[in-house]
Structure 1
Amino acid sequence: MSFTPLYAAPEQISSRFGGTDERTDVWQIGAVLYELLTGGRPPPSRARTSSRWRQR
């Protein structure tokens, strides 16, 4: 499976967040829409940056 990390849902980066499903597609569409509407890349997800998630 290939993906662009900036647009990838957390579950695509690490299996500890669960498996991929329709919600993964919604996440990616949201990331693309964010960039189209704001002209900037989406901020990093909390799942990738939060120390709470790293402790799990």
Structure 2
Amino acid sequence: MTDATRLTDAERAKLEQRRDRLMKLLKDGEGEPLDAEDRADLAQEWTRIDQILQRR
């Protein structure tokens, strides 16, 4: 990935897709319920990606 403040359109799209998949997992659980540790890990990764996407 390039400098976080200068994402290419492709990098931004990829991160947005990952963030959306993480949110879906957090909301739906995709089958088996998530334990607290897994949920915390997913939430932390979602937050990290969201912060990258918010930078400009």
Is the TM-score greater than 0.5? Answer: no
Task: State TM-score, norm by structure 2.
Answer: 0.40
Q: Which structure carries more relative contact order (alpha carbon 8 Å, separation 6+)?
A: 2
Quick check: which one's helix share is greater? 2
